[in-house]
Chains A and B, each alone.
Chain A
């Protein structure tokens, strides 16, 4: 079944803890993205990667880190430096064939304990 899988669906972070959100895709898409969605603020780009072993900062990268060791996987780590991590995190993919739309996973809701 083709698609984008984000896990876990819900995640809780303790003070000073790093947590990692998983994003896996089997669409064979080259580009992958991480967005943060807060009420009333829309989607804000955290990091993106257009090719394996390469990634770029988005508009709000501070307090986050990523890796792209495989085409299928683009995990996001929310570090303790991110002081306001409570949000809905969305992973998206995009084919490299021309100007194609992005496709989204079903998100991870991160909350602070």
Chain B
């Protein structure tokens, strides 16, 4: 079983819809969770950073962590064509020497 699993997509949704992106993981030691957005031919850009379980909201983006289910989600409200990108989840444990483990990314297309 891989440490982090993420559906590669592509996921196509109409403009204005709510988008749900998800990752599952197997390591119960993970405490820090991140979502990155990557446009074509660019580096990943940090969108959300959360610690432990719960929700965090930033504008149209909401990150949700369910540690009991080992499941994290990123919701995008009022999706725009400019949200079309690859979204990578990432996570790490508490020890400062622990590496960040990345999902392979989900390609998202917002249809005008």
Contact = CB atoms under 8 A, between A and B. Distances in A.
B43 A102 contact: no
Q: Which of A90, A102, A105, A109 has the most CB of B within 10 A?
A: A102
Chain B: interface secondary structure? loop
Interface string A70-113: 00000000000000000010100000101101111111010000
B60 interface: no
Contacts of B34: 101
Contact-residue size bin, chain B (C-beta under 8 Å from the other chain): 20 to 34
A40 B7 CA distance: 11
A42 interface: yes
B25 to A, nearest CB: 14
B76 to A, nearest CB: 19
B46 A40 contact: no
Interface of B: 8, 31-32, 34, 36, 41-46, 49, 51, 88, 90, 92, 94, 96, 98-100, 102-105
